[in-house]
Chain A
Amino acid sequence: MAMPQAATAPGPDSPGSELGDVIIEMKKVNKWYGTFHVLHDVDLQVRRGERIVICGPSGSGKSTLIRCLNQLEEHQQGEIVVDGVTLNAHMPRIDVVRREIGMVFQSFNLFPHLTALENCMLAPMKVRGLSREEAERIARTYLERVHIPEQAGKFPVQLSGGQQQRVAIARSLCMNPKIMLFDEATSALDPEMVNEVLDVMVSLAESGMTMLVVTHEMGFARRVADRVIFMDAGEIVESAPPSQFFANPQNERTRQFLGQILSGNRTPAPA
């Protein structure tokens, strides 16, 4: 094929030498929506504790990529191994893999008929089999960690977007996941609420969580990412530590994208 080769995943010389073993491995992953080739020979290796920001124009496949990791989307070719388990469509117990992978969505997706607290308690009780008391204790711990313990008894419609998204993060954390996926977690928020959610994500990143974050918040990428990945047309075009990624992008498409996004970026990079 005439398509340019995707940048290879970084070797052991990549930043964050304190990182652990490989927890996610994607090899030559391909996916099509009908005839639309949404993931094209994607190779990606993520190590335990690594924080990766994925950016790129809309339709570039970045959301699809992380959604393949918990098989909300199935891939048609290639291999995906998550924490030692090779994923494929129609695995009978895909739920066993999913319970170890938290996911935060653009549209929050809190359960409207449950309070914030109950949203956080449901999976620990029904999936982990914890008692109501234990689940509640954990839920309150994480609601505190996302700075909204006082909203525990409220229903999602009674919360602001920023609060809902922080509950959604707490809900995922209550499962004590090994990996957290963020799919444009701040894109649906009013500007004044973006930072309260980003702050939670930053503190989570600092705690050593393995994170894959699809976002346009380049300030966040600069601040916490070990690696920034740029995708375009279903390919990983560039993958580099943020310092290198922003100062000296190798690929023309990356330069174009950064030119567009940084000129209009509303959140300045923190010092």
Chain B
Amino acid sequence: MAYQFEFADVFAYWPELLRGALHTLVLSGLAMVIGMVVAVLGALGKTSGPRWLQWILDAYIEVIRNTPFLIQIFMIYFGLPAAGVRLSSETAALLALVVNVGAYGIEIIRAGIESISKGQIEAGKSLGLRPLQIFRYIILKPSIQAIYPSLTSQFILLMLNSSVCSAIAAGELTAAAGDIQSRNFRSFEVYFVVTCMYFAMSVLFWGAFAAIERAWLRKPSLR
């Protein structure tokens, strides 16, 4: 007997799906912005911070990159209360995403910083710029230009990874989908629609990244 596709049962829940998608967008967008700050500061610390700070950052990066994201979420949501820090599922999800993307971001931006030639830094020094000014005005932008594709790929991964946050009922798209299919028993249809929605959100983010590149990182071309 052939399976009868019944998408009408899914679209009946359209407002819930949209709310979930919006949640995913906000959660991912916030995590990207805060994660970027973590990544830039962390990369600065790793390339020119004191030895003890580099050691701490190394430990952070290695722990995060070598453990499952789901476990990281559980540690923050179920583990932190044991230390007296109780977070809502939304805050825990955001924190987990930031902590996760920060670790990868530090390594990506560090690679960008290391691609800057020593001559650039010497030029900055000889003009009398101070170390933080050199980082901010001379190193930062060309570094990000150099690694922009890796960085944006990591951000897309972050957005897709946010689906794991459904495990702590963070109310994003995957959690909404789980909720709906448990009520209408149309799991295939629900997840098919949700797949399309994730894909659409990826396209949306790629578009935004391309716009940022054009507006801020536009590389001069020969004229």
| Contact-residue bracket for chain A | 20 to 34
Which of A29-37, A121-129, A194-202 is near enough to bind chain B? A121-129
State the CA gap A105–B123 with chains docked (Å): 8
Size of the chain B interface, CB-CB below 8 angstroms = 21
CB distance from B94 to the nearest CB of A (A): 32
Mark contacts of A63-80 with chain B using CB atoms, 8 A cut-off: 1 yes-contact digit, 0 otherwise.
000000010100000000
Report the nearest A residue to B126, measured CB to CB.
Answer: A103
Q: Which B residues are CB-close (under 8 A) to A172?
A: 126-127
**Interface residue? A269 (CB, 8 A):** no
Least Cβ–Cβ distance between B219 and chain A, in angstroms: 8
Beta-carbon contact of B128 and A123 below 8 Å: yes
CB nearest neighbor in A for B217: A113
- Cβ contact within 8 Å between B126 and A102: yes
Give the distance to chain A from B99, nearest Cβ to Cβ, in Å. Answer: 30
Q: Does B129 contact A (CB under 8 A)?
A: yes
| In contact, A109 and B120 (Cβ under 8 angstroms) | yes
- B117 neighbours in A (Cβ, 8 Å): 107, 109
- Report chain A residues within 8 Å CB of B130: 95
- If over half of B's interface residues share one DSSP class (helix, strand or loop), that class is named, otherwise mixed; here it is helix
The CA of A107 and the CA of B145, in the complex, are separated in Å by 21
Q: A95-B129, A96-B128, A123-B128 are in contact. Are A157 and B222 (CB under 8 A)?
A: yes
B113 to chain A, nearest CB (A): 14
Most buried by B among A105, A109, A157: A109
Q: Is the Cβ of A111 less than 8 Å from the Cβ of B138?
A: yes
A10 at the interface (CB under 8 A from B): no
Choose one: B119, B127, B220; the contact of A171 (CB below 8 Å): B127
Cβ-defined partner of B222 (8 Å) among A70, A99, A111, A158: A158
- State the A residues within 8 Å of B (CB): 70, 72, 95-96, 98-103, 105, 107, 109-113, 122-123, 126-127, 154-158, 168, 171-172, 175, 181
Extra contacts, 17 of them, besides A109-B120, A122-B127, A126-B133 (Cβ < 8 A), are A70-B125, A72-B122, A95-B128, A98-B127, A99-B128, A103-B122, A105-B123, A107-B119, A110-B123, A111-B137, A111-B142, A112-B142, A113-B142, A123-B127, A126-B137, A127-B127, A127-B129
Q: Top 9 closest A-B pairs, CB basis?
A: A99-B128, A155-B220, A109-B123, A123-B127, A103-B126, A109-B119, A127-B128, A98-B128, A113-B141
Residues of B bordering A, CB below 8 Å:
117, 119-120, 122-123, 125-130, 133, 137-138, 141-142, 145, 220-223
Q: List 27 A-B contacts (CB under 8 A).
A: A70-B125, A70-B126, A72-B126, A95-B129, A98-B126, A99-B127, A100-B128, A101-B126, A103-B126, A105-B119, A105-B123, A109-B122, A110-B123, A111-B137, A111-B138, A111-B142, A112-B142, A112-B220, A113-B142, A126-B137, A154-B220, A157-B221, A157-B222, A158-B223, A168-B123, A172-B126, A172-B127
